[in-house]
Amino acid sequence: MHVNTFDRFEARQSFIHRLDPRVKVVVTLLFILSNVLLPDGAWAAFALAWGLVLVVNALAGLRLDYAFKRSFIALPFALAAITVIFTVPGPPAFTLPLGPWNFTATETGLIRFAGIVIRSWLSVQMAILLVASTQFPDLMHALRHLRVPQMLVAVVSFTYRYLFVLSDEVVRLLRARESRSARLPGRKSGGSVWWRARVAGNMVGQLFLRSYERSDRIYNAMVSRGYRGHFHTLNPHVMRPPDWLAAGLSALALLLVQAVARL
């Protein structure tokens, strides 16, 4: 099983790793909410929020660029808001001619777009640190403690668990296709584009059928072993003084960010 395909947990013996997962989930959600509430152009508050991310990164015993490099995956999605540059009213900044149309960017639109990108970037960094410092079963157990609907937690748990199985199944199908495809010297294996599309369609159909049959067998096996809709964990998840201290300091830090944004 290719466990590194989706699992991004980094095993460490750090202060952040030892925190109760409920604290980490709540603080992450509050951090994201704090970013959403920051006004456009609050550059000092954005810098302070990034400083909090770097502090958490250091306390987790990770490299300084760990969350930074991985957070750029969110930037293409944030670019979907690029239209605000031209739609938000304000003093004109520049004009972009495009065929018969002229699109005028405003200073207010540029500031809002920059704020959207920075908010997304910071929020993704904190979410990456949450996943890197919390094992997935503990994360799901924390969501159940926080009264997230049990059915939703079960669906997420099963999806995550069997993504690894599906990944291995895809690898086996690809290996089988390669072993049955003729390869001439200096040319790629297989035939025309139509042949490749037909083979890919057959592989997707086989993967769906195998997944459906496997899910039925797995569910019957789990019910026969006493499954009642939730999973158990070996971790006690008891709030200790360091957990309360971390929660309180995090709340104060986020209040400080909001105060700096409104000075």
pLDDT at 6: 58
pLDDT at 98: 78
**Under a CB-based contact definition with an 8 Å cutoff, are residues 238 and 18 in contact?**
no
pLDDT at 5: 54
Q: Give the chain's mean pLDDT.
A: 84
**Cα distance between residue 60 and residue 252, in whole Å:** 20
**99-138 pLDDT, tens digit each:** 788 888 888 989 999 999 999 999 999 999 999 998 888 8
**9-36 pLDDT, tens digit each:** 777 888 999 999 999 999 999 999 999 9
**Under a CB-based contact definition with an 8 Å cutoff, are residues 55 and 11 in contact?**
no
**202-245 pLDDT, tens digit each:** 888 878 887 888 888 888 888 888 877 666 666 777 889 999 99
Kindly state the average pLDDT of the residues 181-189.
59
Q: Which residues contact 16 (CB under 8 A, 6 or more apart)?
A: 24, 56, 59, 60, 61, 129, 133
Three-state secondary structure call for residue 103: strand
> DSSP characters for 58-69?
HHTT--TTHHHH
**Under a CB-based contact definition with an 8 Å cutoff, are residues 24 and 15 in contact?**
no
**Cα distance between residue 146 and residue 66, in whole Å:** 28
pLDDT at 190: 57
Domain positions in the chain are 15-134+238-261, 150-182+190-224
Amino acid at 85: I
**What is the value of pTM for the model shown?**
0.78
Q: Is the pLDDT of residue 4 over 70?
A: no
pLDDT at 128: 92
Task: Report the length, in residues, of the chain.
Answer: 263
pLDDT at 203: 81
**Under a CB-based contact definition with an 8 Å cutoff, are residues 106 and 85 in contact?**
yes
Q: Is the pLDDT of residue 82 over 80?
A: yes
SS3 content of the chain, % helix, strand, coil (to 5): 70, 5, 25
* Percent of residues, the chain, with pLDDT higher than 90: 31
Q: Which of 260, 18, 64 has the alpha carbon at shortest distance from 252?
A: 260
